[in-house]
């Protein structure tokens, strides 16, 4: 059941966005592509058009985010992660019967005792949480491969035809089981027994239950559910592209998702909310914001949680998470103070860099505060990102495989030509002469 207070906060954030930016979305890059296409490309493939997609749309100027045409504010207020992941994968909202069947499948795939047993047999001390998660996905692949070995389905999505039901089963399994794997890794590191999922709990509630060992309050469940929805998809980001590139070779979806996890591990992509929390804790008090920020900007250093390659206004995900962080912080003086630091810093940044540089809060600025208020340690922030984003990874990959073409960009060669090979002995003599020369 949706917590009405949380729902009201989300809808209020949506109304504020409409009041500031209006309701009109300006379509950009939405026409049917006639290949080959000419486009202006910058470093890091900026501006490159790699494919067509109906999964999600970002209006960076107006600060709008759509999943399959549905506004993110409405989905966060009225829907839940299970329904949203179905929407992303299949392109439409399910009927009651379809949603029931899908949730039953997720409940079945959520329990992965063989994977947990394998993780328990490995020394995880030398692995980061994300490295351990990649290992867990490989164990998951192995476990499912054994089940499906007789049918021979593991490696092939047929190019040029509809993707088979077995590939959707892979998607369902990874969406369902990644929270189980992350929670198991955490508990094993803490010297605790992993907890089996509860079939009567939702996706979000199950993760908190498997993590902590107690069922979450409805408010906690709903806030985490919203955070998962907000991170479920976001265009052709680095981890999504990595997933699709691997899948385009017709490697199976487990290897593809493993590539997405590897890309998400990078601090320029998945770890920014950890940096944002550390920053707020370093500032400590709202009174310290001005001096801290002046020093930061004087050194021309980036401020974690601010700025985005696409958004030139406030990230809509940050608009939603801001009041949720404050709601969860109520009653906790330390968290309340961190929220005050965050709001003060946001105001200062708006004055200094908002209008001139279009630098505003992104999703990472407030997501860490939300997770901290839920009692989640910072080392789990990026794995939670993966738990959520696996829906977008698999949805866009399944869509791309319907008309698959292996990714093969070009590089502009800037090296020399006609270099003459020098035998090793002659190279050593030249080095010796250089060392002995006055």
Cα–Cα distance between 99 and 140 in angstroms, integer?
24
Question: Do residues 272 and 398 make contact, with C-beta atoms less than 8 angstroms apart?
Answer: no
State the DSSP string of 7-74: HHHHHHHHHHHHHHH-S-----S-SPP-SS-----BGGGBT------SSEEEETTTTEEEETTEEHHH
SS3 79: coil
| Distance from chain centroid for Cα 302 | 21
Whole-angstrom Cα distance, residue 152 to residue 349?
56
What is the side-by-side order of every strand in the sheet holding 64-67?
56-59, 64-67, 70-71
Residue in 153, 203, 231, 308 annotated catalytic = 308
> What are the C-alpha distances in Å from 12 to residues 72, 213, 326?
13, 33, 14
**Token pair of 115 as six digits:** 């994977």
Give the span between the Cα atoms of 120 and 123, in whole angstroms: 8
400, 247 contact by CB (below 8 A) = yes
Question: 114 exposed, middle or buried (CB, 10 Å; 0-12, 13-18, 19+)?
Answer: middle
Task: Give how far Cα 307 sits from Cα of 150, 188, 241, 342, 365, Å.
Answer: 50, 36, 21, 15, 10
Catalytic residue list contains 284: no
Question: Rounded to the nearest 5 degrees, what angle is found at the Cα of 356, between the Cα atoms of 352 and 362?
Answer: 75
Q: Among this protein's residues, is 364 annotated catalytic?
A: yes
Q: Which of 284, 364, 418, 428 is catalytic?
A: 364
Q: Cβ distance 63 to 80 under 8 Å?
A: no
* Residues labelled catalytic: 308, 364
């Amino acid at each position: 059941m949706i917590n009405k207070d949380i729902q009201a906060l989300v809808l209020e954030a949506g109304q504020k966005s409409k009041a500031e930016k209006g309701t009109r979305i300006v379509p950009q890059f939405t026409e049917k592509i006639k290949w080959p296409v000419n486009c202006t490309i910058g470093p890091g493939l900026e501006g490159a058009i790699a494919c067509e997609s109906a999964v999600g749309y970002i209006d960076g100027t107006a600060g709008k985010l759509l999943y399959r045409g549905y506004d993110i504010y409405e989905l966060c207020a009225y829907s839940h992660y299970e329904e949203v992941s179905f929407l992303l994968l299949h392109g439409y909202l399910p009927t009651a019967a379809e949603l029931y069947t899908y949730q039953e499948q997720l409940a079945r795939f959520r329990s992965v005792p063989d994977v947990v047993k394998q993780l328990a047999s490995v020394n995880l001390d030398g692995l980061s949480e994300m490295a351990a998660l990649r290992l867990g996905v490989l164990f998951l692949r192995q476990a499912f491969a054994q089940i499906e070995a007789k049918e021979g389905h593991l490696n092939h999505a047929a190019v040029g035809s509809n993707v088979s039901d077995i590939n959707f089963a892979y998607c369902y399994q990874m969406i369902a089981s990644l929270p189980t794997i992350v929670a198991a890794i955490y508990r094993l590191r803490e010297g605790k027994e992993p907890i089996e999922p509860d079939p009567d709990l939702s996706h979000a509630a199950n993760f908190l239950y498997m993590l902590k060992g107690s069922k979450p309050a409805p408010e906690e469940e709903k806030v985490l559910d919203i955070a998962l929805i907000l991170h479920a998809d976001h265009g052709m980001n680095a981890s999504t592209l990595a997933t699709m590139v691997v899948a385009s070779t017709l490697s199976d979806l487990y290897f593809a998702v493993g590539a997405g996890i590897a890309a998400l591990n990078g601090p320029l992509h998945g770890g920014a909310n950890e940096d944002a929390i550390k920053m707020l804790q370093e500032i400590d008090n709202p009174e310290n914001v001005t001096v801290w920020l002046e020093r930061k900007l004087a050194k021309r250093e980036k401020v974690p949680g601010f700025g985005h390659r696409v958004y030139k206004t406030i990230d809509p995900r940050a608009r939603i998470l801001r009041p949720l962080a404050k709601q969860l912080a109520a009653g906790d003086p330390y968290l309340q103070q961190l929220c005050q630091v965050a709001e003060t810093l946001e105001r200062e940044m708006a004055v200094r860099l908002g209008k001139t540089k279009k630098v505003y809060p992104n999703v990472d600025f407030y997501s860490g505060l939300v997770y901290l208020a839920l009692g989640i340690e910072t080392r789990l922030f990026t794995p939670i990102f993966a738990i959520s984003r696996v829906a977008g990874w698999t949805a866009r990959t399944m869509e791309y495989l319907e008309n698959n073409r292996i990714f093969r960009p070009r590089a502009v060669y800037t090296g020399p030509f006609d270099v003459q090979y020098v035998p090793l002995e002659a190279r050593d003599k030249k080095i010796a002469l250089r060392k002995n020369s006055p």
